[in-house]
Amino acid sequence: MSIEQYRARMKSAVWKAIANSGTNISSISSEQQATIVDAVADESLSVLNDILDDVYQKESGQPQVNGEETIIWQGRPFLSLVEAYVITSERIKVVKGLIGKDYENFELVRIQDIDVSQAIGERVMGLGDIHIRGADPSTPLLTLRNINNPNQVYELLRKGWLAARKRYGLIFREEM
């Protein structure tokens, strides 16, 4: 389900709760009513995501890294408990599944390009997708979807990518 669908579903639930409460809100203009419902729905989704973060942290614990590999960032898509991302100094780890787990690794040195995209609904919620293109034969395109503060995560990933390339002596070569 997309962020817009979650927002629409939450707004519908807020309108229904107002109607079921029997509270007379006719003295408030329709525009102000819609503004209030939008604000309550967005904040409710945000609180629900924070609760899911707490559950995720308890369930997953601290991710395992080897040797000198350090964690740069870790998170999960908005409102998801079945997918998680860990960006380390060496790779991007994608973990999918609630009970059974699928693990995918994307080495930072194989990255060729990183882009960020945000739909209007995602911008309102402070979310976005990070698209990573690389030379990984099994996964040439990786998308970290519905990431909170995507531009901040993009910058962390970009710095890690450049540091990994420098560490392995790889340089950029532009074709003209």
- Of 15, 31, 58, the residue that ends a domain is 58
- Of 42, 58, 74, the residue that ends a domain is 58
Give the 3-state secondary structure of residue 170. coil
> Do 80 and 162 have their domain in common?
yes
> Do 125 and 79 have their domain in common?
yes
> Do 52 and 85 have their domain in common?
no
> Do 44 and 74 have their domain in common?
no
Is residue 118 pLDDT above 90, yes or no? Answer: yes
Domain membership of residue 176 (yes or no) is no
- Structural domain including 15 reads 3-58
In terms of Cα–Cα distance, which of 130, 142, 135, 91 is closest to 110?
135
> Do 48 and 130 have their domain in common?
no
Domain membership of residue 103 (yes or no) is yes
pLDDT at res. 58? 64
In terms of Cα–Cα distance, which of 2, 1, 12, 15 is closest to 121?
2
> Do 49 and 88 have their domain in common?
no
The pLDDT confidence band at residue 168, using thresholds 50, 70 and 90, is: confident
How confident is the model over 120-165, as pLDDT tens digits?
A: 888 888 999 999 999 878 889 999 999 999 999 999 999 999 998 8
In terms of Cα–Cα distance, which of 5, 9, 14 is closest to 35?
14
Domain membership of residue 173 (yes or no) is no
Single pTM value for the model: 0.77
Contacts of 153 (CB under 8 A, 6+ apart): 73, 75, 87, 130, 144, 147
The torsion angles phi and psi of 99, rounded to 5 degrees, stand at -105, -60
CB atoms within 10 A of CB 61: 8
Domain count, the chain: 2
The torsion angles phi and psi of 65, rounded to 5 degrees, stand at -130, 155
Domain membership of residue 172 (yes or no) is no
